[in-house]
Amino acid sequence: MSHSLAHPSPDRRRLLTGAAALVAAAGLSSSASAREPRRGPFTSQDNGERSGPITLMDLPYPDNALEPVVSAATLSFHHGKHHKAYVDNTNAAIKGTDREAQPLEEIVKLAAAGSDEKSRKLFNNAAQVWNHDFYWKSMSADGGGKPKGDLLAAIERDFGSFEKFAEEFAKTATGQFASGWGWLVQEDGGKLAVMATSNADLPLVHGKRALLTVDVWEHAYYLDHQNRRADYVREWIDKLANWRFAAANLAG
Ligand code: MN
């Protein structure tokens, strides 16, 4: 009896693996498997390589956990392509310099203080690594709703009500001209505020403490919402905002 009847040939196996990879890369999911956790094709776990001391953090949830506000296709490309490129560019820029031994926040602050082209380029990439790490944590599959406890009290104190805060946050994030970020921040003295930053800019270099952020670069929402940034931001607040993370960032 030929054992090729019992076992697929190597060629056949390659074909099957290739087809599975194509389906994964296209972000396709059948209705039966739509909610099953799975890893996308570009996560650091899959390629198993590090380009230097700055690492691409693993997503804290499966690629499809944030659907339908953020699709698996968007999340997979955003993390595995855009975020990974910022990590690789940062590692390439600090290779062989003192920066290799420094924590990411320090690299970001020092690059922000420099005025030459090299510093500007390093800032744009290192700050985007920090921003994306913070953005993934700012979302949760069971997010949205209202914060609780001290954070809710602080929001009501500084914005009047949670609804007024949500309106102001949405308006600020949506109104950011071109690429950037919307933030809930804590200022010196403890007051909460919302702010928008352009491109890679972030509260850290403006003496403010970040509590929560939404990415409003088009790559964050265009596949799912096209040009409707306001819809993405509103649904993001209603369904994804990770208030446990924001509360943990609140200074006592
Ligand atoms: Mn982004």
185: which strand partners? 193, 210
Contact 37, 62 (CB under 8 A): yes
Average pLDDT score over residue span 87-103: 97
Give the Å distance between the CA of 78 and the centre of ligand 1. 6
Give the Å distance between the CA of 116 and the centre of ligand 1. 24
Compute the half-sphere exposure of residue 92: CA atoms within 13 Å on the CB side of its CA.
9
CB pairs under 8 A, 24+ apart, for 161-169? 165/192, 165/194, 166/237, 168/194, 169/194, 169/214, 169/233, 169/237
What's the whole-number average pLDDT of the chain? 86
- In this prediction, residue 251 has a pLDDT band, given cuts at 50, 70 and 90, of confident
Beta-sheet strand order (sheet of 180-186)? 192-198, 180-186, 209-215
Give the Å distance between the CA of 23 and the centre of ligand 1. 24
pLDDT single digits (tens) 227-243? 999 999 999 999 999 99
- The residues, ordered by sequence, that sit 6+ positions from 101 with a Cβ below 8 Å of its Cβ are 53
Give the Å distance between the CA of 86 and the centre of ligand 1. 10
pLDDT single digits (tens) 9-55? 444 444 444 444 444 444 443 333 444 444 444 444 444 457 889 99
Query: pTM here?
Result: 0.81
pLDDT at position 49 is: 58
Q: Which of 124, 106, 118 is nearest to 53 (CA)?
A: 106
Q: Is the dihedral of CA 141, 144, 146, 152 positive or negative?
A: positive
Contact 86, 132 (CB under 8 A): yes
- Write out the DSSP string of 79-125: IIIIIHHHHHHHHHHHTTSGGGGS-HHHHHHHHHH--SHHHHHHHHH
CA distance 110 to 127: 11
pLDDT at position 37 is: 44
* Residues having C-beta closer than 5 Å to ion ligand 1: 215, 217
Cα–Cα distances in Å, from 119 out to 105, 122, 134? Answer: 14, 5, 22
User: In this model, does residue 212 exceed pLDDT 60?
Assistant: yes
Give the Å distance between the CA of 8 and the centre of ligand 1. 42
Give the Å distance between the CA of 16 and the centre of ligand 1. 33
Average pLDDT score over residue span 152-158: 98
pLDDT single digits (tens) 69-87? 999 999 999 999 999 999 9
Give the Å distance between the CA of 143 and the centre of ligand 1. 19
**Alpha carbon 249 to chain centroid distance?**
16
Give the Å distance between the CA of 19 and the centre of ligand 1. 29
